[in-house]
Amino acid sequence: MSDAQITSDMSIGDVMDKYPATDKIFMKYFGNGCFTCPGAKTEDIAFGCTMHGVAVEDIMADLNQAISE
């Protein structure tokens, strides 16, 4: 298990670049837009949750699970 942890203040683009396993999680919660949205490179996960009406706790649990596998 990895000691790495994703936090909600990290940018969506940085997380997707560093942890490719998270792509499927972003797709599940935010849809296909993250892969083409220029804002995804600079917007943090918490902002994305606000924009998509997603509970931060839900996506964070799934993201951190994805990088621990």
- Kindly report the pTM of this predicted structure: 0.87
pLDDT, tens digit, 9 for 90 and up, residues 14-48: 999 999 999 999 999 998 877 788 888 889 999 99
Integer angstrom CA distances of residue 4 from 7, 18, 28, 67:
10, 11, 22, 8
- Domain assignment present for 5: no
- Domain assignment present for 19: yes
Structural domain boundaries, residue 23: 12-68
- Domain assignment present for 6: no
* Tally of domains in the chain: 1
Band (pLDDT 50/70/90 cuts) for residue 3 is: low
User: Under 8 Å CB-to-CB from 16, ≥6 apart: which residues?
Assistant: 22, 23, 26, 34, 35, 40
Residue 2 clears pLDDT 60, i.e. is over it: no
- Domain assignment present for 1: no
What per-residue confidence (pLDDT) applies to 12? 94
- Domain assignment present for 45: yes
What per-residue confidence (pLDDT) applies to 1? 43
- Domain assignment present for 57: yes
- Domain assignment present for 3: no
- Domain assignment present for 4: no
